[in-house]
């Protein structure tokens, strides 16, 4: 893109200020800036006007779940199906590690967090240990795709290399980088981070499959025979990946997707609930539900909307390919965005000062025709590290790890 083209594109969108320092820059930096401008997706900006998000949902119905008791009864047969699929190379794992972990406030990738007490035990390491249990049981390596962002890719890949992939076969580990979206002020002006750098942040975890495709990894998956992808978050230390029982139950159910869920701790727990919306599976946030729906019960007194998701989904690859190009809802999130002030000084705000744009993996569930809701025990499979202290923190995760006899 030339300077003239950039100027035209930006002035049409009221974003000419991005070229304010252009003349001061070296030729290399000028080129660098033009490349960023060329890649900018300005369509996001139109969304700011409709920020008062459409919270109106369609017609909600409960989806229920295959319960822990029901799973226990059929465990052997599910496990057999699941292990066979893993052994045949049909199951891949996708680790979402492109987030910035702003609540935790680390200056490095969340997976580099040491969760050990008397020894070093990194979050990435614990996840690999969990996955290796299935590898050992199946006697086959599971392809592991790891999504990073431009912000943390170098740190992440170097960390894995420095720790020899925590004993995982590096031939089966594939990194890919997600896309970025511009960060804007409340007035919709894109912030600058440096004179030649536009402020941008990872575009949410919803684009993982298309980013994987852009990185050429669908071909890799095909070559390896992968038919199912198990996607999970980086911050749940008890996360079970490629869990053969879950894989087997989803395959046997004939569904194109499965989601691990936990029974809500109380009706008002702030989790996304897996239910049906207009006849299709959907994850509905607590703030999108009426009090009546939140508290509705069946004839046995059990909550009808009782199952919260834990960001562990299994998707059939053919289905993902079909929905890949559909538009996803874009969520506008308030955020603290470091920016250059009018004197070109970098300001790191203490309070949110603008928006970032994200698509979310949970919206993919509404794009598929059916989804097996698969209940797991919270205390055994859900120990997310989101906050510095209190609920869902390193302390609470350590407690749960101890309960699960993980040596810390």
Beta strands 60-62; 280-284: pairing state: unpaired
Q: In terms of Cα–Cα distance, which of 311, 385, 336 is closest to 111?
A: 385
Residue 359 CB, nearest approach to ligand UTP (Å): 9
Q: In terms of Cα–Cα distance, which of 136, 260, 147, 276 is closest to 202?
A: 147
Nearer to ligand UTP by C-beta: 304 or 385?
A: 385
User: Measured at CB, which residue is nearest to ligand UTP?
Assistant: 99
φ, ψ for residue 185 (rounded to 5)?
A: -75, 170
Q: Which residues bind ligand UTP (CB under 6 A)?
A: 96-103, 110, 147, 178, 202-205, 233-235, 311, 386
Nearer to ligand UTP by C-beta: 201 or 319?
A: 201
φ, ψ for residue 238 (rounded to 5)?
A: -95, 10
Residue 59 CB, nearest approach to ligand UTP (Å): 27
Q: In terms of Cα–Cα distance, which of 100, 379, 135, 138 is closest to 238?
A: 379
Residue 217 CB, nearest approach to ligand UTP (Å): 15
Nearer to ligand UTP by C-beta: 102 or 268?
A: 102
3-state DSSP helix/strand/coil % of the chain, to nearest 5: 40, 25, 40
Residue 65 CB, nearest approach to ligand UTP (Å): 22
Nearer to ligand UTP by C-beta: 89 or 202?
A: 202
> What is the dihedral angle through the alpha carbons of 398, 404, 407, 408, rounded to the nearest 10 degrees?
0
Give the angle 402-98-13 at the CA atoms, nearest 5°: 150
Nearer to ligand UTP by C-beta: 81 or 153?
A: 153
Residue 343: partners with Cβ closer than 8 Å, 6 or more residues away:
none
**Would you state the structure tokens that stand for residue 12, as one six-digit string?**
């049409």
Burial 153-175 (b: 16+ CB within 10 A, else e): beebbebbeebebbebeeebbbb
Nearer to ligand UTP by C-beta: 30 or 203?
A: 203
Residue 197 CB, nearest approach to ligand UTP (Å): 18
Residue 130 CB, nearest approach to ligand UTP (Å): 14
Burial 247-272 (b: 16+ CB within 10 A, else e): bbbbbebebbbbbbbbbbeebeeebb
Alpha carbons 254 and 79: distance in angstroms, whole number: 16
Nearer to ligand UTP by C-beta: 33 or 213?
A: 213
Nearer to ligand UTP by C-beta: 78 or 122?
A: 122
Alpha-helix residue ranges (DSSP H) falling in 165-286: 208-214, 217-224, 244-253
Residue 109 CB, nearest approach to ligand UTP (Å): 8
Residue 103 CB, nearest approach to ligand UTP (Å): 3
Nearer to ligand UTP by C-beta: 178 or 373?
A: 178
Q: How far is CA 62 from CA 9, 81, 257, 297, in A?
A: 47, 28, 17, 10
Q: In terms of Cα–Cα distance, which of 142, 145, 154 is closest to 174?
A: 145
Residue 394 CB, nearest approach to ligand UTP (Å): 13
Residue 386 CB, nearest approach to ligand UTP (Å): 6
Alpha carbons 234 and 231: distance in angstroms, whole number: 10
Q: Is the Cβ–Cβ distance between 223 and 209 less than 8 Å?
A: no
Nearer to ligand UTP by C-beta: 137 or 331?
A: 331
């Amino acid at each position: 893109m030339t300077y003239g083209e950039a100027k035209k594109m930006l002035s049409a969108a009221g974003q000419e200020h991005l070229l304010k320092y252009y003349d001061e820059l070296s030729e290399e930096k000028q080129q660098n800036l033009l490349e960023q401008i060329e890649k900018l997706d300005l369509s996001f900006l139109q969304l700011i006007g409709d920020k008062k998000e459409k919270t109106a949902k369609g017609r909600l119905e409960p989806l229920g779940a295959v319960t822990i008791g029901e799973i226990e009864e059929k465990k052997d047969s599910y496990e057999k199906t699941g292990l066979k699929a893993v052994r045949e190379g049909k199951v891949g794992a996708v680790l979402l590690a492109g987030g910035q972990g702003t609540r935790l406030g680390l200056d490095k990738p969340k997976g580099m967090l040491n969760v050990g007490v008397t020894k070093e035990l990194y979050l990435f390491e614990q996840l690999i240990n969990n996955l290796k249990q299935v590898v050992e049981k199946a006697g086959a390596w599971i392809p592991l795709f790891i999504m990073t962002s431009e912000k943390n890719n170098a740190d992440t890949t170097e960390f894995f290399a420095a720790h020899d992939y925590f004993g995982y076969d590096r031939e089966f580990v594939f990194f890919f980088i997600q896309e970025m979206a511009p960060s804007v002020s409340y007035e919709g002006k894109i912030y600058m981070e440096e004179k030649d750098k536009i402020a941008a942040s990872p575009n949410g975890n919803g684009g993982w499959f298309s980013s994987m495709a852009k990185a050429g990894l669908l071909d890799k998956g095909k070559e390896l025979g992968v038919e199912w992808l198990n996607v999970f978050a980086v911050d749940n230390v008890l996360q079970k990946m490629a869990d053969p029982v879950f894989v087997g139950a989803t395959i046997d159910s004939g569904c194109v997707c499965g989601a691990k869920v936990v029974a809500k701790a109380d009706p008002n727990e702030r989790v996304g609930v897996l239910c049906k919306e207009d006849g299709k599976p959907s994850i509905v946030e607590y703030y999108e539900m009426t009090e009546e729906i939140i508290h509705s019960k069946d004839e046995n007194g059990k909550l009808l909307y009782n199952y919260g998701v834990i960001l562990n989904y299994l998707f059939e690859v053919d289905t993902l390919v079909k929905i890949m190009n559909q538009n996803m809802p874009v969520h506008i999130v308030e955020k603290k965005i470091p920016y250059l002030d009018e004197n070109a000084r970098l300001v790191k705000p203490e309070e949110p000062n603008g928006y970032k744009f994200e698509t979310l993996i949970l919206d993919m569930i509404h794009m598929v025709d059916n989804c097996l809701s698969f209940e797991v025990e919270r205390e055994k499979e859900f120990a997310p590290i989101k906050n510095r202290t209190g609920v869902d923190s390193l302390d609470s995760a350590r407690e749960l790890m101890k309960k699960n006899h993980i040596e810390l």
